[in-house]
Amino acid sequence: MIAQLSDAGFEGFEEKENSLEAFIKSNEFDNSLLDEIVFKYQLQYKISTLINENWKKVWEIQFQPVIVKDFVAVRADFHEPVSNVELEIIITPKMSFGTGHHATTYMMIEQMREIDFSGKSVFDFGTGTGILAILAEKLGANYVLAIDIDEWSIENAEENIKKNCCNKIELKKTSIVSTEKKFDVILANINKNVILDYFHSLINLLNASGVLLLSGLIEEDYNDIVLIAVDFGLKMERKLIKSNWICIKFTY
């Protein structure tokens, strides 16, 4: 259902024990499209309009550190340092996607542990909070290009990049990059439709020996993603599954 709502323009989700909260810009909301999706599951819903508020204060109350095994801890600067992990990423959680709490971000981090980033160039497609770009630099990447179309995300990512003392990340507000530059690693944690729409562009940006890491996908998306990847000469190297979400690593 989250995947279908994402396709309908919803940008943020909060899964609770007996309900799901989904967020969308008011000018992009289509009630008939929501009715069509919800009808399939025979669910009820209610709509409320949120005003801008002090999201930092709200998140400070709700936000808890995320620990990915003994590898990475993602925390806010008002949390105490986390011991017994290799790396810490400090973020100011606002309205951007990618705090590590969602299964897709968690799996992207987990997969990145097995990728050699030393001296590599990285493209982070749909950077959100910038967490994956920051991790790539901490793992040794010498250049990271991180892009997003959302102004909230760009502002939040810029703040988080500075907070983590990163100096090898270039941040741009755009949907795709036209460049002759090739990347050794491409990270895309978005959703199936966006990935399929931009797959050819992403492959054109990938070095011949590069790694493509994808998430924002559910298990039912697997065959469609693998089929198009194989058509471009890629092979599936590793798949992770968490709460019906998947993260796939492709190489040439």
pLDDT band at 176 (very low <50, low <70, confident <90, very high): confident
Q: How far apart are CA 202 and CA 147, in angstroms?
A: 13
Does residue 169 fall inside a structural domain? yes
Would you give the distance in Å from CA 161 to the centre of its chain? 15
Domain membership flag for residue 46:
no
* Share of residues in the chain with pLDDT > 90 (%): 70
Reported pTM? 0.79
63 shares a domain with 119: yes
Angle at 224 between CA 120 and CA 204, to 5 degrees: 35
Which residue would you say has higher pLDDT here, 99 or 5? 5
On whether both 161 and 63 belong to a single domain, the answer is yes
Same domain assignment for residues 96 and 32: no
**Residue written as token pair 């008939």:** 32
178 found inside a domain: yes
130: left (phi over 0), alpha (psi -120 to 50) or beta: left
Helix (H, G, I), strand (E, B) or coil at 217: strand
Of 57-61, 149-153, 236-240, 247-251, give the lowest mean pLDDT range.
57-61
Same domain, 24 and 140: no
At residue 238, what are phi and psi to the nearest 5 degrees? -155, 135
How much is the pLDDT for 205?
95
Domain that holds residue 21: 2-41
Is 176 within a domain? yes
231, 203 contact by CB (below 8 A): no
Report yes or no on 239 lying in a domain: yes
| 2 confidence band (pLDDT: 50, 70, 90) | confident
Burial-class residue 3 by CB neighbours within 10 Å (0-12, 13-18, 19+): middle
Tokens (6 digits) for 209: 């020996």
How does pLDDT run across 80-103, given as a tens digit for each residue? Answer: 999 999 999 998 866 545 566 789
Q: What share of the chain is helix, strand, coil (3-state, %, to 5)?
A: 35, 30, 40
Q: Say whether both 37 and 81 belong to one domain.
A: no
Looking at the structure, do residues 205 and 227 belong to the same domain, yes or no?
yes
**Residue 62 CA: distances (Å) to CA of 56, 65, 101, 112, 130:** 10, 10, 12, 27, 20
Q: Any bridge partners for residue 146, and if so which?
A: 124, 171
Q: What pLDDT, on a 0 to 100 scale, did the predictor assign at position 13?
A: 84
CATH number where 98 lies: 3.40.50.150
Q: Are residues 32 and 78 in the same domain?
A: no
